[in-house]
Amino acid sequence: MCTSHDHLGAEPAPDVPALSRRGVLKAATAATVGAAGVLAVAGPAEAAGGKHGGSRRVPLDHISVQLYTLRDQLAIDLDGTLAALRRIGYTRVEHAGFVGRTAAQFKAALDRAGLRATSGHSGIPQPFDAAAWQATLDDARTVGQRYIVHPFFGVDANGPIRSSAVYKAFARDLNRAGAMARRAGLKFGYHNHHFEFFRQDGGSRTGFEVLADETDPDLVHLELDLFWVTRGAHDPVDVIQQNRGRIRQFHVKDMNADGSFEDAGKGLIDFARIFRYGREAGIDEFIVERDDAGTPPRAPADAISTAEVGYDYLAALRF
């Protein structure tokens, strides 16, 4: 689970309860239910492409990896892990903190490996603190980021938030953070989990819809985590079509048969179908992630394998 980090390795592995088989089918096969509609609106070449064809591909220099995936291995060997990512083929990463280094030290490590941190997860202060946020923006500029993304919202002491008023208040803070980011030359985004897809106030409007409606598209873009959208029982294509031109980044994270995490391309999510809507979304980055990649029972170094599987999958995919 992507949350706010001061440095990688500070947080234990996420506890993601397994869905029932019925729940998995309801959530993860939303894409399948909508497939007929896709074929109806797609051109003949797109419709015929399916998972194994098509003429489009993910540009290699737009493939990234969320370093939260490798947090345990980075804590063991920062330089060696970054070098391994470059050997796999990555040229860009999205950080989740500076692994106990300063922004300048972290940037130097990236430079040694031949990598760029084009994006980073940094939570906005709550309550909002302009001075603290400005310091975070200054660090992002030191690292050389293009994007800065708020990583987590939707839960309070009582569990998932079910009040649209709370979401509206947070949206105002997102707009403030986005305005400051723009003045600093950065693009500010919001990363979802599944909590945002709970209906608010006992009605039909979800928290995600409140955030999307109440934030200024010129100040706040969306980083769509495709696993968590699916886990939230929503079809990513529907979310894309409801937010055209506003989704700059995808988190490419797959789902296994128990409703938990899987390496990209090994699970239930039909990424090819979703990526066909990339231009409509406004997508710029395809970011590999797996929340439990290097945590027990897996070893930290196994996260490097996850990163390699994800890169190879995206590099080979046609849609």
pLDDT at site 41: 28
Helix, strand, coil share of the chain (percent; to 5): 45, 15, 40
pLDDT at site 42: 33
Mean pLDDT of 245-264: 98
pLDDT at site 2: 59
Other Cβ atoms within 10 Å of 158 Cβ, number: 7
pLDDT at site 8: 40
Round to whole Å and give the CA distance between 279 and 114: 28
Residue 72 pLDDT exceeds 80: yes
Mean pLDDT of 84-109: 98
Give the position of tokens 């074929």.
Answer: 39
| Alpha helices in 156-301, H assignment, sequence order | 164-183, 207-214, 226-231, 236-242, 271-275, 278-281
Pairing relation of β-strands 247-252 and 254-255? unpaired
pLDDT at site 122: 98
pLDDT at site 264: 98
Residue 16 pLDDT exceeds 50: no
Mean pLDDT of 28-46: 34
Residue 50 banded pLDDT, cuts 50, 70, 90: very low
pLDDT cut 70: percent of the chain above it: 83
How far is C-alpha 248 from the geometric centre of its chain's CA atoms? Answer: 10
Structural domains for the chain: 60-316 (3.20.20.150)
Round to whole Å and give the CA distance between 206 and 195: 9
Round to whole Å and give the CA distance between 217 and 246: 7
Round to whole Å and give the CA distance between 167 and 31: 27
Beta strands in the chain (DSSP E): 63-65, 92-95, 116-121, 147-150, 155-156, 159-160, 187-191, 221-225, 247-252, 254-255, 261-262, 285-288
